Amino acid sequence: MDYHTWGDEISEDISIIGDGCAALSFASKIDLLPNHSLTIQTLDNAPVKKDHCWGFWKHSVLEESVELSKHSWNKWSIITEKENVILESTTMPYHVLKRNDWMNYCQKIAQEKGVSFVTMNSVDPAQKNIFDTRPPQVPKNALLQHFLGQTIEVEEGSFNSKTVTLMDFRVDQSKGMHFIYLIPFSETEALVESTLFTPERLDDVFYRESIKTYLKKVYNVSKFKILDEESGVIPMGKLSQHNPSIPGLGGNGGAIRPGSGYAFVFIQKQIQEAIQRVNQNKPLQFKSPHKKIDLWMDGILLVVLRHWPNHAPAIFSRMGKRLTGEQFARFMSGDADWKLRLKVIFSLPKLIFARGFVKWAIKV
């Protein structure tokens, strides 16, 4: 490790490759590591980052994010052709945060705390105390969560502004697991995302047409103004580090939840745990924030969603009916205990998950 000495103090230098969510989230908390300095290294050929929405449930590691969030809701729903399951929590409401709001906030705080930002032509893997936040390697034929969303405005009130639609399966299921994610900012404005879990991303036309068809079918809306559009691809399952010789952080350090694609809360957990270890006189290390049992459960779920996607509506609606809103939020945020995990397991269709376990075991 690189050290600099001023008087009796020893300063330890840290470098992070990339300036995304994980890098800037950590940079904004560098003052929690006494006598450490930080440099954020951005490659000059890095892709341009676009703004989009991040959703999460209120959590102790997300206090600043809650303050910056655009909206929050105490209710969220899972909808199938047969039923509408509504969950509710006043202690763990669902929040939506704009990516750029969080990134700008973290960068401002980081600069005030003395973090250096430099642009590099290439990466030197031989550097000491360096961590890599570039995207992890995605295995061939991996299951992907891919989506295209439109923030729209309608002339008359159509949306229930008090309830987030986490999953609405009343859309074309012929391509694989497909649902609409709808965030109602008001009765006339909402983010509507067409989301699929399949090995390949589809043409943009499919998502846009799915949104259009859904709005007409469910809300009787045929005319709307598109205020913004966002899209993305999140790899699911086990991922390899971008460069095995450089320790990872964030998604490149195992922060992405394999079964849901959620990363924001897990990145913050990963950073908090790393800072706590350093303050216990342990080396700086970013470990996976996920428990092994949760990774095992996610692995079997992904097998089922890949091979039997037609069961997805029943799987998620049954889980929603069995859990309270707070239990659902805790499970999705990685805070489940054994009692809650068993409750989730017993809510699932037994035969299809038994088949999924066999396929998972053979693959392993």
Residues 218 and 325 grouped into a single domain: no
**Tens digit of pLDDT for each residue in 41-64?**
998 887 788 899 999 999 999 999
How far is 318 from 336, CA to CA, in rounded Å?
17
Whether residues 132 and 266 fall in one domain: yes
**pLDDT of res. 364:** 63
Specify whether 124 is located in the same domain as 26. Answer: yes
Residues 221 and 309 in one domain: no
Q: Are residues 118 and 156 both part of a single domain?
A: no
pLDDT band at 249 (very low <50, low <70, confident <90, very high): very high
Residues 127 and 160 in one domain: no
Q: Does one domain contain both 342 and 356?
A: yes
Assess if residue 35 is contained within a domain. Answer: yes
Burial 194-223 (b: 16+ CB within 10 A, else e): bbbbbeebbeeebbeebbbebbeebbebee
Q: Is there a single domain that holds both residue 206 and residue 323?
A: no
267 with 315, same domain: the answer is: no
* Span 165-218, pLDDT tens digits: 999 999 999 999 999 999 999 999 999 999 999 999 999 999 999 999 999 999
- Report the number of distinct structural domains present in the chain: 3
Same domain for 150 and 173? yes
C-alpha closest to that of 111 among 191, 44, 31, 176: 31
Angle (nearest 5°) at CA 197 between 196 and 202? 55
- Residue 314's domain comprises 292-363
191: nearest Cα among 141, 227, 216: 227
pLDDT (tens digit, 9 = 90+) per residue, 97-113? 999 999 999 999 999 99
Identify whether 349 is part of a domain. yes
